Amino acid sequence: MSAEGEKQPELRVGPDPNVVYPVKVQYCGNCSLPIEYCEYYPDYPKCKEWLEKNLPSEFEKVKLVDDTTTEAGSTEDEKKRQKRGGKGMLKTKKKEEVQKLITVSRAPRGKKKSVTVVQGLSTFDIDLKVAAKFFGSRFACGSSVTGEDEIVIQGDVKDDLFDVIPEKWPQIDEDLIDDLGDQKR
């Protein structure tokens, strides 16, 4: 038995047993630098070509890093952002800036008739389809959802809405309904 032999693991200096030596450095066939330096080489695109052919697994790594930083990637993001904030934003502006408010107005329909336009119900989380149906049966006339947050009731019922809306949806105070008067459509 050797006491020294037992102590050896604690005293070990030198190569880390978890690392395989010699550390393998892969050199680029295009610029002859270790491949992690290729990106600093002026002819990096050619290095990538070489990598793709000769060290596909390393190329994948380079490619992944590259894809997240290229200009193409960021313009793609830009496009998405613009799409997301496109049409919808113009109509309702930013959601968090929208005040809870309902507006009612009268709009001409034909020569003598008027329709009533109700906007803003969805700022109170009211289902517009349900609301349109309710107005239709309440006023016994046509009523439909005509926009993102707009219902048109076929008839001049604007003044009645100040009673009907708070009665149907108690969370809406009459003061939260704004009369926009007559609108030209």
Q: Which residues bind Zn ion (CB under 5 A)?
A: 28, 30-31, 38, 47
CA nearest 125: which of 87, 88, 159, 171?
171
Shortest distance, position 48 Cβ to Zn ion, whole Å? 8
Tokens of 65: 């890093």
Please give the Cα distance from 10 to 75 (Å, whole number): 56
Report residue 180 CA to chain centroid gap.
33
Residues constituting the chain:
185
Shortest distance, position 73 Cβ to Zn ion, whole Å? 22
Q: Please, what sign has the CA dihedral across residues 175, 178, 182, 185?
A: negative
Shortest distance, position 62 Cβ to Zn ion, whole Å? 10
Shortest distance, position 60 Cβ to Zn ion, whole Å? 16
* Residue whose CB is less far from Zn ion, 55 or 101: 55
Q: Please, what sign has the CA dihedral across residues 72, 74, 75, 76?
A: positive
User: Are the C-beta atoms of 106 and 159 separated by less than 8 Å?
Assistant: no
* Residue whose CB is less far from Zn ion, 43 or 76: 43
User: Are the C-beta atoms of 108 and 137 separated by less than 8 Å?
Assistant: no
* Residue whose CB is less far from Zn ion, 30 or 105: 30
* Residue whose CB is less far from Zn ion, 26 or 171: 26
* Residue whose CB is less far from Zn ion, 55 or 107: 55
Shortest distance, position 37 Cβ to Zn ion, whole Å? 7
Distances (CA, A) of 96 to 93, 99, 124, 126: 9, 8, 13, 17
